[in-house]
Structure 1
Amino acid sequence: MARAPLVPRTDREIFTVPLDILPGHIDENGHVNNVVYVGWLQEVGTAHWNARFSAADRARWSWVALRHEVDYLRGLQPDSTAVARTWVGDPQGARFNRYVRIEDGEGRLCAQGISEWCLVEAATLRPTRIPATMLGAFQR
């Protein structure tokens, strides 16, 4: 059973990414394959990170996805348009959750997901506590 619709936090920036629905995304049931949604969760989170942090920050730190959870609510068809809206939760040591809503061109919720990410030192891939200053880039 799907969880209740995810609602963006009012204290967080909502980062929006248009999604391209490619012919290779369509499965034998005529809609976007479930695996594509998992890829979108990762791509959207990465795009948000890249948009908010400098090349120097990205060279120092990286993120590792630990878990993705997706609720599939409405199929996206080949001729659909779609957008992803993402925001972050509260840091928990080296980890935080990222929330994603995937909506069609009419604003209907088609899928939603929660990804758990871990901040690592890029050079060693060792987990590192999320600095308090980092959260400011994701706040309103």
Structure 2
Amino acid sequence: MARAQLQPREDREIFVLPLDIRPEHIDANGHVNNVVYVGWLQDAGTAHWNARFDEATRTKWSWVGVRHEIDYLRPLMPDATGVVARTWVGDPQGPRFNRYVRIEDGEGRLCAQGVTEWVLVDAQTMRPHRIPADMLPTFARR
């Protein structure tokens, strides 16, 4: 059963992270290994967070990924160039929200898509904390 393609929300900023394919990403089947995509989902979310929030905020809060779901649609080969991750966030639910990621090749074709459930935690205690209301507007479309 084919999954519906994730589409960015009109009210959310779409953060784009260029991705490099390195030799160690290639598996015995000659394409990017599935486990690399999990890292890319995390990298996209972390880069978005780091790009939009100041050091004081990043020192106070941290995010913990508690669930990943990935659909692999088209293999990425060793010579692929122009690969990007496009990411945006969903609606907060207490300390949680989903982050959506599309991995696209240099021609804009969807190669993989994923959802990671993230939990906001106090960086000192590592205890979950409700996402502050003033945090979400930072992820809104500008």
TM-score range, shorter-chain basis?
A: over 0.9
SS at match of 1:51: helix
Cα distance in structure 1, aligned partners of 2:48 and 2:3: 24
Counterpart residue identity of residue 29, structure 2: N
The alpha-carbon distance between structure 1 residues 122 and 128, as it changes in their structure 2 partners (threshold 3 A), is: same
Q: Which runs of 5+ in 2 are unaligned?
A: none
SS at match of 1:132: coil
Residue 104 of structure 1 is matched in structure 2 by 105
- TM-score, L = length of structure 2: 0.97
Q: Which runs of 5+ in 1 are unaligned?
A: none
Residue 36 of structure 2 is matched in structure 1 by 36
Counterpart residue identity of residue 16, structure 2: T
**Identical positions, percent:** 76
Q: How does 1:124-139 map to 2 (within 5 A)?
A: 124-139=125-140
Cα RMSD (Å): 0.6
Deviation at 1:3, TM superposition (A): 1.9
Q: How does 1:18-97 map to 2 (within 5 A)?
A: 18-81=18-81, 82-97=83-98
Cα distance in structure 2, aligned partners of 1:29 and 1:100: 24
Alpha-carbon displacement from aligned partner over 1:79-133 (angstroms, at most 9, x marks no partner): 0021000000000000000000000000000000000000000000000000111
Cα distance in structure 2, aligned partners of 1:93 and 1:116: 12
SS at match of 1:117: strand
Deviation at 1:2, TM superposition (A): 4.3
Cα distance in structure 2, aligned partners of 1:113 and 1:79: 23
- Aligned pair count reads 140
- TM-score, L = length of structure 1: 0.99
Counterpart residue identity of residue 120, structure 1: V
